[in-house]
Amino acid sequence: MADIEVPSQMREDWNARAREDAGYYVAFGARDQDDAAFFATATETVNSLETELRRVPAKHRTLWKGLEIGCGPGRLLRPMSRHFAEIHGVDVSDEMIALAKQKLRDVPNAHAQVCDGARLTAFADASIDFVYSYAVFQHIPSRDVVQEYMREVQRVLKPDGFARLQLNGLPRSMDDQYTTWSGARFSGTEILEFAQQHDLQVLALEGASTQYMWTTWRKHAPGWSAEQDGRTFAEFPVRIRRITNSDSSEPLAPSRGRFASISVWVENLPSDAGLQHLRVTIGEALGHVTYIGPADNVGLQQISVVLPELEATGLLPVELRWMDQPIAPPTTLRVIAPGPSVPRLRSVTDGVNLVAGTRIETRTVKMTLEEIARPFEIEAWVNGLPVAGLEYFCVDPRPQAFEVNFHLPEELPPGSYPLEVRIGRRKLAPVMLYVTA
């Protein structure tokens, strides 16, 4: 599909989806939801966005202007409007914008409008304080169009403004065929390189190699350069106050596996520290920094670090470096041997109406399994009947999580039945399905 054709195809496809069932295609939940159920699906995403807003105290946000790219019918605009004096939403679909205007008619500071599908021409340079986008770029079938949007985000942000964006980070392959549903993909490295080229400080890059990769950017003031802003520990008395496991409050981490990540709690971190230039070493190995959080009420900032696969265990030195220079006295982390891999069934839902849970309404089932080293060994039975045609793909390589989809056996009538799953020689605990049709 030529890039010049992408916006018109996006508008056509998303107008059709809006007419069919806007709530379903926007929220990936159930069909034919009422407004209360539809807006309730925004809670988790809004909580994530509000965490990023804490980077700037509320008293300094009284006149802030926000912008949502791909606002759809206003699912996020409504709750996010309480944080801004003025908030705008754009969408390529005029059908979606018509719905947004209807659903937001009682929110006077929220404004929705149609955009051309690649640019933010309605907004002047350096006019927006906070830009966000969720489940939008992953539906754009052109890397060029997504990159144009990213350049536009940099253009419209004010100096010291922030962006919180979600992209599809699944690995690319030579036979990828992008559509307006399964869109373009980007690696974490590409996002870091883009930010470096466009004078953006990266504060978060989470979920790399997954469909839901999130990044947070801060726009630097004109003329800023990290290479000209190197600083030493003596100039900035940075301190590592504590280190905990990212999944618990324990002061230790395994040397590899799903729980091999830490939170480093730091005070006096330079405000310009970003993922491009901040390094954390554990022993002789370099950790993978994924997140630099806002300061908490006592001034500590969380630095999230995924550990490399370590050979050594015991007390290992941890060092914080900025511009390749140590900026804090080193401390230690207790590294332990990893536990055994234990496959587990994380969730089971209807394959279409995801909020239906184990009530199977469409005769399709979606499972998510974790710690699966050999997905080709997955087998399933419903009421003793073998399931054929399992389709699976990796959704997160670190916990080795796989999404598995299948159709119920044709001969199975409505009723309650056990779902049994086996991975190789390991049998998981059965789950009851309630088949309605």
Dump pLDDT digits (tens) for 372-406.
999 999 999 999 999 999 999 898 888 899 999 99
pLDDT at residue 2, as a whole number: 42
Amino acid letter at 244?
T
Q: Candidates 2.30.110, 2.60.40, 1.20.58, 1.20.1300; correct CATH number of 344-435?
A: 2.60.40
What percent of the chain has pLDDT above 90? 82
Q: With beta carbons less than 8 A apart as the criterion, state whether 436 and 359 touch.
A: yes
Q: CA 343 → CA 375, 378, 426, 427, distances in Å?
A: 11, 11, 8, 9
Dump pLDDT digits (tens) for 46-61.
999 999 999 998 889 9
Comparing 28-42, 175-189, 215-229, 407-421, the range with the smallest average pLDDT is: 215-229
Q: What is the mean pLDDT of residues 7-17?
A: 94
Amino acid letter at 51?
T
Residue ranges per domain, the chain? 3-224, 227-336, 344-435
In a 10 Å sphere around its CB, with 0-12 CB exposed, 13-18 middle and 19+ buried, how is residue 260 labelled?
buried
Domain spanning 3-224: CATH superfamily: Vaccinia Virus protein VP39 (3.40.50.150)
- 420 forms beta bridges with 381
Measured CA to CA, the distance from residue 60 to residue 137 in angstroms comes to 30
Q: What is the mean pLDDT of residues 184-197?
A: 96
CB atoms under 10 Å from CB of 222, counted, come to 8
- The residue among 432, 427, 402, 396 whose CA lies nearest residue 415 is 432
Q: What is the mean pLDDT of residues 315-342?
A: 93
pLDDT higher than threshold 80 for residue 13: yes
Measured CA to CA, the distance from residue 98 to residue 108 in angstroms comes to 16
Q: With beta carbons less than 8 A apart as the criterion, state whether 264 and 320 touch.
A: yes
Whether 344-435 and 227-336 are alike in CATH topology: the answer is: yes
Tokens of 200: 């953006």
Class of domain 227-336: mainly beta
Angle at 41 (CA atoms; ends 132, 208), nearest 5 degrees = 50
Query: Which residues of 128-227 form beta strands (DSSP E)?
Result: 128-133, 157-167, 200-206, 213-219
Phi, psi of 37 (to 5 degrees): -70, -40
pTM score = 0.91
Measured CA to CA, the distance from residue 93 to residue 280 in angstroms comes to 44
Comparing 102-111, 138-147, 222-231, 399-408, the range with the smallest average pLDDT is: 222-231
Measured CA to CA, the distance from residue 255 to residue 335 in angstroms comes to 6
Q: Tokens 């307006």 sit at which residue?
A: 180
Measured CA to CA, the distance from residue 130 to residue 83 in angstroms comes to 10
- With bands split at pLDDT 50, 70 and 90, how would you rate the model's confidence at 172? confident
- The residue among 340, 408, 349, 330 whose CA lies nearest residue 371 is 340
Q: Is 356 helix (H, G, I), strand (E, B) or coil?
A: helix
In a 10 Å sphere around its CB, with 0-12 CB exposed, 13-18 middle and 19+ buried, how is residue 410 labelled?
exposed
